[in-house]
Amino acid sequence: MCNRLNLQADVSELTDSFGVSRVLFYYANQRSLVPNESIAVIRTKENERTLDECRWGLMPFWAQDANRADISTVFEKRAFDHLIKRQRCVVPASSFDQVTVLSKKQEKVRRFVMPSRSTFGMAAVFDEWNGSFDEELRTCTILTRRVWNEALGLEEQVPVILNPEQIERWLSPDLFDKQLVQELVDSIEKPALRELPSALWDRLWSEEELEAVPARPGMI
C-alpha cells in the first residue's frame, strides 16, 4: 500500500519527462508526503499539459477511497464517474513508502522504486471544490491495484504506474468513454518495482547498486 510519497526530481526534470508546457506549482524536493498534504500532479488544462498542485485525499477525507482507490471497484462507483471520464491526472514520484504500524512508537517502512531510478507517474483522479471564502480546493486520489506477493502468500496494493504511452492516453481529453478508460487500466502490467535498502535512502544510488542487493522475501 502507498502510504507516503517521495519526489526528488526538480521542476525541469518533470517538464522534460512528462511533456509539461505550463508550470503552476513550484516546489522543493518533497519527502515523506502523507495524505492531506499538497503534492505535485500533472493534468491537462485547457489543452495544455500542466504541472499543478493537489491536496492528497478526496473529500470527505475519511472516505475509503479518499487517498487510494482500488481499480477493482472504482469503476463501479457512481461518485467516480465524472472523475474517471474527465478529471484524470498523474502523480509523479521518485519512490513510495509502505508503512506498517507495529506499535504506538514503532513502525516498519519499506521504500519502493523503479530499478531505472527514473521518476514514474501514477494514475490518479482529482476533484475541485469551492471553500467557504470561494477559494478553490483541488484534491486527488491515487489509483491502486492488487498484486499477488508470492513470498508472503497474500495480496498487496500498489499504485497503478503508467509508461509514457499510457500517460499520453490517460491525460488525453479525447478519452472520455468510461469503458475505454477501464480497458486502458486493465492493460497496464504489474510494475517492476524494487525495494530500496534504507542505506540508500539519503543518497544518489545507481541501478548497479540496487541490483547488487539480494532480493528479500516480502518484496512486491
Cα–Cα distance for residue pair 80/106, rounded to 1 Å: 35
Cα–Cα distance for residue pair 104/98, rounded to 1 Å: 17
For the chain, what are the domain ranges?
4-212
User: How confident is the model over 57-111, as pLDDT tens digits?
Assistant: 998 877 878 899 999 999 999 999 999 999 999 999 999 998 888 887 888 888 8
In the CATH scheme, what architecture does the domain 4-212 have?
A: Alpha-Beta Complex (3.90)
Q: What is the pTM of this model?
A: 0.88
Lookup: cell for 40? 505535485
